[in-house]
Chain A
Amino acid sequence: METLIRLCDVCKVYNPGENEVRALDHVNLNIDVGEFVAIVGHSGSGKSTLMNMLGCLDTPTSGDYELHGREVLKLTDNELSEIRNEEIGFIFQGFNLIANLNAVDNVELPLIYRGIGKKERRKLAGEALEKVGLGARMNHKPSEMSGGQQQRVAIARAIASGPPVILADEPTGNLDSKSSREILGILRGLYESGRTVILITHDDDIARQVKRVIRIEDGKIEADYQNEENEEDEGDVQEA
């Protein structure tokens, strides 16, 4: 498998000096194209920092980060924006939709920043919303939708431009169990259609449903293992 993400000896230090906080401590990590990975850790373990790093929202203090063959450390702010736009689809715990835009406008945002024309944009955004089962709610504002629906809009936004990596930060953290199952189902579907899905969570139950689990504690990788063949309780998705 082609390597998508390569972290080499990555450190992230906040407040360097006396009271420095080592959020990431010499992390080495490889993720291949098409993997389904859960990064698990308690709050304060450094998993959010790792997620920011992987998402090119933040840059390491030291070490190397290679995403899709590009050295992230050497990129300017605008180049980082470009990478986020082209390589990564974000799904956040708090959905992070823009309140005064309706569903389809929200989904179109990354396509606007990529410079795709209006017609093509509408088409891609529409398709993405269909894919998450919200084809009928394109013109609803976030405030007119349930949490689960909002998160599905966010997923549609993350996949609309077809980025190779989907980065989901506690995507079910604000949702009830039924919506959580739906969202996880959609993410699994994305993985099955060949995308790399990285899920950040503190929930072991969710981690158990994911193929590869990376446990992080105190800024260090504690464990990195493959789950045995999934014993899915939903049973709606099966490995081929």
Chain B
Amino acid sequence: MGRLGEYFKMAIDSIRSNKGRTLLTMLGIIIGISSVIMITTIGNGLQGSIKDLYGSVGNVMYVWPGEDAESSPEEITETDMEEIREIEGITGVTPTGSAKGKLTTRKGNFDTNISVGNADMESTDRLDILYGRFFTSSEADGGSMVCVIPEADAEKLYGAKNVVGQKLDIEVAGSIQEAEIVGVSKSQTTSGIMAMMMGNTDKITLYMPMNALNVWGYDYSYTAEIYISAEEGVAADYMEKETMDILKRNHSVKNEKIFEAYTAAGEQDQMTSMFSMITVFITVVAAIALLVGGIGIMNIMLVSVTERTREIGIRKSLGAKTGSIMIQFLAESAIIALIGGGIGIICGIILGLVVCAVLSMTAAIPWSAALWATLFACGIGLFFGIYPARKAAKLSPIEALRRE
């Protein structure tokens, strides 16, 4: 075993005496491995963010008019919603809509996006109330001018979080009406996240009863879109099927696409499978880079064998066996690949962390990928080292000694 160590030491000695060339040889491996690690780091971060995002969205489903009903959306009636609410595991059903408006406080003028629905919106939108309360069913039915605001928006409007009881003058469609803030919710809400995904982060979000829109002169009695929330663990396809069955039955739909459903979980699955496809693609590209890197190592080892023919002859005359020379050269190519892999992993992690930081994602260092990359690099070094090493080991000692 000690002798194996000696061969490694020999390999390191000769790598040391050729630093510049070795570094250039490593470049292929460095680039290959670092790109894999970087992409995996970013991918992990992205996957994590998506998981967080959908995790906070919760188990929700959105139903809206299908493509065969786009011009004249079918109304979803109170009866439909009542029946859907009966499905096991369903926690809330609300009609949904939104209106754009403007409002003014001492802090300035703001654009607002008013999310409307019934009292179930507290559950469908996952509104965790921090101060005050959510509006009640009777307020919703009566179209009271009450609203709930996320804490971050409250901060923007008033510079304080607990703003329950404050009155807001809201302008919608040219008319200004007063609404009272009855509750403040946590900021991570479903519509907050949707708004963030659409890039509307600068708008103030308000939650109000749908019927309150009538006060501004909107007629929102016709419901074509609804949100449904379910308990944690209720399968997305079960939710979808049950809901669609009720709607199809009540509206005698056969094969036309009158209603369409969207579940957050389904979307997440889609995103995840898209990411795995991207990962596969990147892995293939990286594998090609590593292959090229490996050929680079083989090339330089062949040059090295030619250059060091005399050294090989000397070693053989001193009693080196075929195996000893072979191990020495294999060790050399494996070490080159390994060091290249190591540098690649470090570079990849650093680059990945930087990109994650820039995109403000939680970075997760892919340790298992790093381990695989190391093993793979080592394997490449060994595999591509075999041919040059054999060439070196098979040299006849007199031929080798004769060469200057």
Question: Does B391 interact with chain A (Cβ within 8 Å)?
Answer: no
Determine the distance from Cα of A78 to Cα of B316 in the docked complex, in whole angstroms: 10
The size of the chain A interface, using a CB distance under 8 A, is 27
Question: Does A58 interact with chain B (Cβ within 8 Å)?
Answer: yes
- Which of A63-71, A107-115, A184-192, A230-238 makes up part of the contact surface? A107-115
B13 and A101: CB pair below 8 A?
Answer: yes
Q: What's the least CB distance linking A25 to chain B, in Å?
A: 19
Determine the distance from Cα of A22 to Cα of B45 in the docked complex, in whole angstroms: 75
Interface SS, B side: helix
Q: Which residue in chain B gives the minimum CB-CB distance to A157?
A: B318
B317 and A55: CB pair below 8 A?
Answer: yes
Q: How large is the interface on B (under 10, 10 to 19, 20 to 34, 35 or more residues)?
A: 20 to 34
Known: A57-B398, A78-B322, A96-B310. A112 touches B3 (CB 8 A): yes
Which positions 218-235 of chain B face chain A at CB distance < 8 Å? Answer: none
A78 and B318: CB pair below 8 A?
Answer: no
Chain B residues within 8 Å of A96, by CB: 310, 313-314, 317, 401
Determine the distance from Cα of A186 to Cα of B246 in the docked complex, in whole angstroms: 107
Which positions 294-346 of chain B face chain A at CB distance < 8 Å? Answer: 310-311, 313-324
- Which of A80-88, A197-205, A213-221 makes up part of the contact surface? A80-88
Determine the distance from Cα of A174 to Cα of B319 in the docked complex, in whole angstroms: 25
A57 and B317: CB pair below 8 A?
Answer: yes
A118 and B2: CB pair below 8 A?
Answer: yes
Q: What's the least CB distance linking B362 to chain A, in Å?
A: 48
Chain B residues within 8 Å of A113, by CB: 315, 318-321, 324
Pick from B14, B316, B318 the residue with the most CB of A within 10 Å. B318
Task: Among A82, A90, A97, A101, point to the contact of B321 (Cβ < 8 A).
Answer: A82
Listed A/B pairs (15) with beta-carbon separation below 8 Å: A55-B317, A57-B398, A57-B401, A81-B316, A81-B321, A85-B319, A90-B317, A96-B310, A98-B315, A113-B315, A113-B318, A113-B320, A113-B324, A117-B2, A157-B318
Contacts beyond the supplied A84-B316, A97-B314: 5 A-B pairs with Cβ under 8 Å: A77-B321, A85-B318, A112-B6, A113-B315, A115-B2
Interface residues, chain A, CB within 8 Å of chain B?
A: 52, 55, 57-58, 77-78, 81-82, 84-86, 90, 92, 96-98, 100-101, 109-110, 112-115, 117-118, 157
